[in-house]
Amino acid sequence: MESQMPLFKELSTTVRDSATPQESNRRFCKELETALIDLGFSLSPDENLKPNSFCTRQTYKDMYGADRQSSFLINSAQYGLVRVEAHRQEKSGSVDQKFPFFFQSMLGTPEKYLVIVFDGDGYKKEAYTWLTSKAESVEDKVFKVFRTLDLFLEWITSTERD
């Protein structure tokens, strides 16, 4: 039996490292949630947000009129309400095919500040360039795209307003 123990240790490492994209994305959202709390934001049980608080999985209508839940709705003392979609894509996959959906759907929300924050390099460079270009072209809202969690956290805590 002792000779088989290393096999179990090896298996548990492999299982942990082979998380599905959904599990990986959930972990990324949890990391973002923890980072917000560490910065002094508080988690709210509902959408009645006080300044410097946030809620998770806030429902809005997507571009097809169906209910969709964004990763976060943050009430920043600096910016007011900020709707955030957070996605981790560590390996090449379909997230870049979803860029137009995320972009168009978020434009229909009432918040002035819209954010997509990524983690990982699993999207095509051309798709990312397309998304940032589209975000910069929005005139009636402030649409931000961040390639890392750190860049987003730096923005949400900055004292300069866009």
Average pLDDT value for the chain: 83
Range 89-115 burial, b when 16+ CB lie within 10 A, else e? beeeeebbebbeebbebbeebebebbb
Rounded to an integer, what distance in angstroms lies between the CA atom of residue 41 and that of residue 36?
5
For the beta sheet containing 142-146, the strands, ordered from the edge strand earlier in sequence to the opposite edge, are: 42-43, 53-61, 67-76, 80-88, 113-119, 142-146
Rounded Cα–Cα distance for residues 120 and 33 (Å): 17
Give the pLDDT score at 46: 76
59 within domain boundaries: yes
Domain limits at 71? 21-156
Domain presence at residue 162: no
Q: How many domains does the chain have?
A: 1
Any domain includes 101? yes
What pLDDT digit, counting tens, does each position of 80-115 carry? 999 999 988 765 555 667 788 889 999 999 999 999
| Phi, psi (deg, nearest 5) at residue 57 | 50, 50
Residue 149's domain is classified under what CATH number? 3.40.1350
Structure tokens at 130: 């397309």
Low-confidence ranges of the chain (pLDDT < 50): 1, 4-16
Task: Report yes or no on 38 lying in a domain.
Answer: yes
Which pLDDT does position 25 carry in this prediction? Answer: 78
Q: What amino acid occupies position 66? A: A
In a domain, 16, yes or no: no
What's the pLDDT score for residue 13? 41
In a domain, 7, yes or no: no
In a domain, 1, yes or no: no
Residue 95 has a pLDDT of 60
Task: With respect to residue 65, please indicate whether it lies within any of the assigned structural domains.
Answer: yes
